[in-house]
Amino acid sequence: MVFGETNRMYDHIKEEIIKHEGKINKVYKDHLGNATFGVGHLVLPTDNLEEGVEYNDTTIMEYFERDFDQALHDARSFIQEESIDPVGFGCVINMAFQLGLPRLSLKKI
């Protein structure tokens, strides 16, 4: 699968997440002190991202598309997409992006 290929219908949700998170081209510390990059991506040791290096938009969006695809998968694991209003499901995707499935699963709908 090409990252983002199946997510074109979710462009408005992606725009909301980018607006909320911002898009930063360097590794930085988030409000919890975690190394973060691009559009709220939690930097992992396997990412090979270095502090002080400026990354281009293509790299930022590659990470964002992977993170969004994971959030969409997590949202679908949390609730059947067809079982709620599309706007409500968009909110679930956004929550999955912010929280991840383990913490999202603690929430009740």
Spatial distance between the Cα atoms of 69 and 5, rounded to a whole number of angstroms: 10
Tell me the per-residue pLDDT of 34-83, one tens digit each, with 9 for 90 and over.
999 999 999 999 999 999 999 999 999 999 999 999 999 999 999 998 89
pTM equals: 0.85
How many structural domains is the chain composed of? 1
**73: phi > 0 → left, psi -120 to 50 → alpha, else beta; which?**
alpha
* pLDDT recorded at residue 100: 86
Q: Assess contact for 3 and 10: CB atoms under 8 A.
A: no
> What does the block give as tokens for 39?
């559009």
CATH code assigned at 58: 1.10.530.40
Q: Assess contact for 13 and 90: CB atoms under 8 A.
A: yes
* pLDDT recorded at residue 8: 64
Is the pLDDT confidence value at 108 over 70? no
> What does the block give as tokens for 88?
């409500």
Q: Which domain holds residue 59?
A: 5-104
Question: Is residue 109 in a domain?
Answer: no
> What does the block give as tokens for 49?
């991202």
Question: Is residue 92 in a domain?
Answer: yes
Is the pLDDT confidence value at 6 over 70? no
Is the pLDDT confidence value at 99 over 50? yes
